[in-house]
Amino acid sequence: MVMEHLRQYSKKQLESKSTSELEWHYMDAYKIAHSSGMIENDSRLKMITGILFGRNELREKLIIKCQIKQRLEEAVRREGYEEAATFRDMLKHYEQHIMG
């Protein structure tokens, strides 16, 4: 049985997903790339980032940004500082590469 977060999707499959579905894939790809220190070179993260950047759904992009911020705040409240640092870095990456 393949775990959902390990399943690889083709670009075409990812492009067919809604922006809100891509949010989960973006966060998953970012966490994996962050933990391996490969954010700049991770092809899955680059692909998802490119798809999200190419969409003109500002409302959806702002919702995703707010959800990342919310997860960051939750991690800080739980004193999960390592997790909070990951979400902080994810938020910066999202703002730079997707929000434009």
Over 60: is that where the pLDDT of 90 sits?
A: yes
Comparing 58 with 86, the larger pLDDT belongs to 86
Please give the single-letter amino acid code of residue 11: K
Please give the single-letter amino acid code of residue 9: Y
Q: What is the pLDDT of residue 7?
A: 64
pLDDT digit string (tens) for 18-32? 988 998 899 999 999
| Average of per-residue pLDDT across 69-92 | 93
Backbone angles phi, psi at 84, to 5 degrees: -60, -40
pTM across the whole model? 0.71
